[in-house]
């Protein structure tokens, strides 16, 4: 929780931010509290899920823990590079989850994106596209995003058994501002993800509305 204050205050502000983002119609909320115990993560996930469901259309993904996502009835999981594959997560979900279980994955190169796609991920988050503040690590850049998103590839629009095939969705993460979100969209990103971008935003409706227009 990247908020100041006590643990209780940080938790309250995190849940408030989730509520504001959902009310402004974000597509996904990723709960990525890495330092919590499993019990604490489950409790937080239940609270977050209640907010997400109450605000309408957003879907809640749990970072890393497919088991927690399934246990609390979240909409899906966001896998890291050290987790099980997307196909394995989907196999686990098929045993207990009614409906479509969203499987997303973190990637750092076009090769990793193609691997996640081949394993049936719904989408990936590619990072870091830009250098992040206070982090000594170069971003991979817009050309890498363009390659990963296959911006210049003509989508396969063949219809087979009623399935219209489209370009695989790649979301951009890492140092993304509203201005840079436009650059990411031009490079082929299906959307953008962020922490500070939304956490430090005072006009959530304006920000998300502007991003959706890109």
Written as one string, the DSSP assignment of 106-164 is EESSHHHHHHHHHTT-SEEEE--SSPPTT-------HHHHHHHHTTTSPP---EETTEE
Token pair, residue 38, equals 């499993």
Exposure string for 180-196, b = 16+ CB within 10 A, e = fewer: bbebbbebbbbbbbbee
pLDDT tens digit sequence for 108-150:
999 999 999 999 999 999 999 998 666 657 899 999 999 999 9
Is this structure's pTM higher than 0.75? yes
Q: What is the pLDDT of residue 3?
A: 67
Q: How far apart are CA 94 and CA 3, in angstroms?
A: 36
Residue 161 zone, left/alpha/beta (φ > 0; ψ -120 to 50; rest): left
Q: How far apart are the first and last CA of the chain?
A: 29
166 half-sphere exposure, CB direction, 13 A CA radius:
8
Residue 155: band (very low, low, confident or very high) from pLDDT cuts 50, 70, 90: low
Q: What is the pLDDT of residue 9?
A: 86
Residue 93 lies in a domain: yes
CATH of the domain at 156: 3.20.20.70
Give the dihedral of Cα atoms 206, 210, 213, 214; nearest 10 deg: -170
Residue 196 lies in a domain: yes
Residue 112 lies in a domain: yes
Q: What is the pLDDT of residue 35?
A: 86
Judge whether residue 65 has pLDDT over 70.
Answer: yes
Judge whether residue 174 has pLDDT over 80.
Answer: yes
Q: What is the pLDDT of residue 206?
A: 96
Residue 55: band (very low, low, confident or very high) from pLDDT cuts 50, 70, 90: confident
Residue 22 lies in a domain: no
Q: What is the pLDDT of residue 56?
A: 78
Residue 176 lies in a domain: yes
Contact between 155 and 167 under an 8 Å Cβ cutoff? The reply is: yes
Contact between 25 and 58 under an 8 Å Cβ cutoff? The reply is: yes
Total domains in the fold of the chain: 1
Residue 95 lies in a domain: yes
Helix (H, G, I), strand (E, B) or coil at 45: helix
Closest CA relative to residue 141, chosen from 110, 106, 178, 112: 110
Judge whether residue 158 has pLDDT over 60.
Answer: no
Instruction: Tell me the mean pLDDT in the region 33-57.
Output: 94
Residue 127 lies in a domain: yes
Judge whether residue 1 has pLDDT over 60.
Answer: no
Token pair, residue 126, equals 């590619």
Residue 149, preceding bond cis, omega within 30 degrees?
Answer: no
Residue 4 lies in a domain: no
Domain of 187?
62-212
């Amino acid at each position: 929780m990247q908020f100041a204050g006590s643990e209780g205050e940080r938790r309250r502000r995190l849940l408030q931010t989730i509520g504001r983002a959902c009310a402004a119609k974000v597509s996904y909320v990723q709960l990525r509290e890495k330092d919590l115990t499993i019990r604490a993560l489950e409790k937080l996930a239940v609270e977050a899920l209640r907010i997400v469901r109450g605000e309408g259309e957003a879907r809640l993904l749990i970072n890393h823990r497919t088991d927690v996502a399934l246990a609390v009835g979240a909409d899906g999981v966001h896998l890291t590079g050290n987790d099980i594959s997307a196909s394995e997560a989907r196999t686990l979900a098929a045993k207990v989850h009614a409906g479509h279980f969203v499987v997303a994955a973190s990637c750092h190169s076009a090769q990793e994106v193609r691997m996640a796609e081949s394993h049936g991920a719904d989408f990936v988050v590619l990072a870091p596209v830009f250098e992040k503040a206070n982090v000594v690590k170069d971003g991979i850049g817009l050309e890498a995003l363009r390659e990963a998103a296959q911006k210049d590839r003509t989508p396969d629009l063949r219809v087979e058994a009623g399935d219209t095939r489209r370009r695989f969705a790649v979301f951009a993460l890492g140092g993304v501002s509203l201005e840079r979100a436009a650059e990411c969209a031009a490079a082929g990103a299906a959307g953008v993800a962020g922490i500070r971008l939304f956490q430090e935003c005072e006009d959530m409706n304006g920000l998300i509305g502007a991003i959706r227009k890109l």
